[in-house]
Amino acid sequence: MEKQQNIKQKLPDKFSNFSEWYQQLILRSGLADYSSVSGCIVYRPLAYAIWEKIMQEVDKRFKQLGIKNCYFPLFIPEKLFEKEAEHIAGFKPEVAWVTHAGDTKLAERLAVRPTSEAIMYASYSKWIRSWRDLPLKLNQWNNVVRWEFKHPVPFLRGREFLWNEGHNAYATEKEAMEDLWKILNIYKDVCENILALYGIVGKKTELEKFAGAVSSYAIEFLLPNGKAAQGPDAHFDGENFAKAYDICFLDQQQQKRYVQQITYAISTRMIGVMVAIHSDNHGLVLPPKVAPTKIVIIPIFDKQTKQNVLDYAKQVKSELVKLLSNSDSDAIIIDDREQYTPGYKFNEYELKGVPVRIEIGMRDIEQESVTVFRRDTLERFTIKLSQLSKIKELLDEIQKNLFEKAKQFLLSNVVTVNNIDELKQAIANKKMAKANFCCTKECEQNIAEQLEAITPRVIALDEKPNENDKCIFCGKKAQAVVYFARSY
Ligand SMILES: [Zn+2]
């Protein structure tokens, strides 16, 4: 009984109380739970199934680019970790260290990986000898630990998260950059066409780029609370790590040269971004391509009608399985549990974000139809059994609708600002602000000190300032158009 009330209890309002709405949604939909370790969450089956889908989609695209999966140790010896100065400076404050084995103190501390450059590049240095060994394109699907002290938020900010970390080495910068753009496009494709999310692809500013990189690129998303969340990213490292870890090769002229490197990642943060953008006050809204269960069939019966209704439900299911040619056993389910009422089940699947619900009662059977409910718009209608193929179109339509809504949301919340006051006002109104910026490190440092949580998110790639445009902060010549926001 207690559980039934919990399902029916309303969520806080998404737009007026985002933070409480998000936290309760994560817990009550069964995506995740808190654990005994502060800042570390439990990924329950629903969240893990979504992550598996992201992994599959990214992984198959990576393989077409010749990227191979591998696995390196979780631990990094301190000496190795300290080789690249900027890298260690960027990560050291958040590293968790292993210092003991049982009661015995280790001769050398081991870092729990916050990222794997240090351990991987020690091997790259051994493996890469000649131009024939290049390119080397390796990826790991793993977990990393960053012992942050900022307020943890499930998926969006935590001490341990899951991701891919790709590390490629090339003979030339040209090849490295060509692949970097292909990889960013893979991430963009998965975000847009699988997760139904629209973000801004741009270049990171000096202070926001990856520790040790020459340049960083990322896809930035805007959440309904006005905060930006950095999605997948890719970094061009040039020779920075190659010099620190001695990764060199003999080129075709027998000249010794350093490799050119890129790294790239997509993490479980995307689950949080997706949930925050699509979901509503009834619960999760999952795009069909990512939802482990795409259709739930709920038979409505009493003792007399039970057999009839269940038979009909099974027939509908088997036709849908054929139509969708989906072999995944969870994709289409019949919920015939008798200990829960249909109303309870409706609420439950709305909370869990199942894209399409099909209700089947005696009236549907008599009319040779089914009652359909779509989760994204909350619309309910009937379709004839002979037109069941419309369900396939409906799933495509839901996928498309969610993407269009997400795109509209972002585009309608970007404001161009001409001075600092307008910038502050835009951010206070939960917008992302676009401004002319000089892109100097000094100016960026000043912003960080004066505007606290407002940071440059990305430099626009498709827009340049005019000849006479000035930086809105220092008045010097503007070098780029930059997106600003508060961020996670
Ligand atoms: Zn400036």
d(CA 317, CA 336): 13
Assess whether 20 and 123 both reside in one domain.
yes
What's the pLDDT at 443? 95
Residues 259 and 306 reside in one and the same domain: no
Strand stretches in 9-63, DSSP E? 32-34, 41-43
Co-location of 325 and 472 in the same domain? no
Last residue of a domain, one of 361, 394, 427: 394
Q: Helix (H, G, I), strand (E, B), or coil: what is residue 337?
A: coil
Q: What is the pTM of this model?
A: 0.96
* Ligand 1 mean position, distance from CA 447 (Å): 9
Is 283 part of any domain? no
Distance between Cα 159 and ligand 1 center (Å): 34
Task: For residue 482, report the distance from its CA to the centre of ligand 1, in Å.
Answer: 11
34/150 same-domain check: yes
Query: How far, in Å, is the centroid of ligand 1 from the Cα of 478?
Result: 7
**Does 433 lie in the same domain as 390?**
no
Q: Is residue 5 part of a domain?
A: no
Cα 446 to averaged position of ligand 1 atoms, centre (Å): 9
pLDDT for 449: 87
Give 317 Cα–ligand 1 centroid separation in angstroms: 61
CA of 152 to the centre of ligand 1 (A): 32
- pLDDT confidence of residue 452: 79
- The pair of structure tokens assigned to 363 is 């009236």
Please count the structural domains in the chain.
Answer: 3
Instruction: Please tell me the distance between residue 465's alpha carbon and the centre of ligand 1 in angstroms.
Output: 13
**C-alpha of residue 471 to centroid of ligand 1, in Å:** 5
Expressed in angstroms and rounded, the spacing between residue 239 Cα and the centre of ligand 1 is: 29
Q: Are residues 332 and 459 in the same domain?
A: no
199-233 pLDDT, tens digit per residue, is: 999 999 999 999 899 999 999 999 999 999 999 99
Q: Do 263 and 299 sit in the same domain of this protein?
A: no
Q: Which residues in the chain show pLDDT less than 70? A: 1-7, 327
C-alpha 200 – ligand 1 centre gap (Å): 22
CATH of the domain at 178: 3.30.930.10
Cα 456 to middle of ligand 1, angstroms: 12
Span from the CA of 475 to the centroid of ligand 1 (angstroms)? 6
Protein residues within 5 Å, CB atom, of ion ligand 1: 438, 443, 471, 473-474
Q: Is residue 6 part of a domain?
A: no
Dist. CA 55 → ligand 1 center (Å): 40
Domain enclosing residue 432, as ranges: 414-487
Residue 72 forms part of a structural domain: yes
- What separation in Å is there between the alpha carbon of 418 and the centre of ligand 1? 13
- 478 inside domain: yes
Supply the pLDDT for residue 6: 65
Distances (CA, A) of 337 to 4, 316, 371, 374, 414: 14, 18, 19, 22, 47
CA dist., res. 223 & res. 278, Å (int)? 10
Identify the CATH number of the domain in which residue 371 sits: 3.40.50.800
The separation between CA 322 and the C-alpha centre of its own chain, rounded to angstroms, equals: 31
Distance of CA 474 from the midpoint of ligand 1 (Å): 4
CA 126/CA 245 separation, integer angstroms: 10
Cα 240 to middle of ligand 1, angstroms: 27
Q: What is the pLDDT of residue 428?
A: 95
